[in-house]
Amino acid sequence: MDRDVLYVTRNPVTRCVKFGITSRDGYARLHTHRVDGFTEVLRLITGLPEGLAVLTEQKIKLALAMVDAKPMRGREYFSDEYLALIENEIGNWVPEALAAGPGHRSGKLIML
């Protein structure tokens, strides 16, 4: 499976953000998170070059570890107070043309 999708979603009730990687268009994975209360899609970037989604996810985890951020649960669920740091890492590793191109979606996830 080619993991070429990077996403960031948020649960507005718990103020928790979840970032991750997946494949295809990302909607199946986001639906799973929506059922768990993550109704806001802050980033959905599809069609990334091979290895870039994995690298970016690793860099996000490293940046969070460097500021001693503790996950709210699991390994990729953090308080939304770290959203700027997560977005910064995406900006550092995903070229702007890819992040804002036709494979990028953001906004509230209403229905999948």
- Domain ranges within the chain, ordered by starting residue: 5-108
27-59 tens-digit pLDDT:
889 999 999 999 999 999 988 999 999 999 999
- On whether the CB atoms of residues 82 and 17 are closer than 8 A, the answer is yes
Which of 66 and 4 is assigned the larger pLDDT?
Answer: 66
Q: Which of 31, 40, 35, 43 is nearest to 11 (CA)?
A: 40
Beta bridge partners of residue 18, listed in sequence order: 9, 77
Q: Give me the pLDDT at residue 16, please.
A: 97
Task: Inform me whether the pLDDT recorded for 111 exceeds 60.
Answer: no
User: What is the pTM assigned to this prediction?
Assistant: 0.86
Task: Inform me whether the pLDDT recorded for 99 exceeds 80.
Answer: no
Task: Inform me whether the pLDDT recorded for 1 exceeds 90.
Answer: no
Residue with tokens 């953001």: 106
Please report, for residues 8, 19, 49, 87, the alpha-carbon distance to residue 3 in angstroms, rounded to integers and kept in the order given: 15, 13, 9, 19
Both tokens of 25, joined, read: 């268009």
20-31 tens-digit pLDDT:
999 888 888 999
- On whether the CB atoms of residues 41 and 17 are closer than 8 A, the answer is no
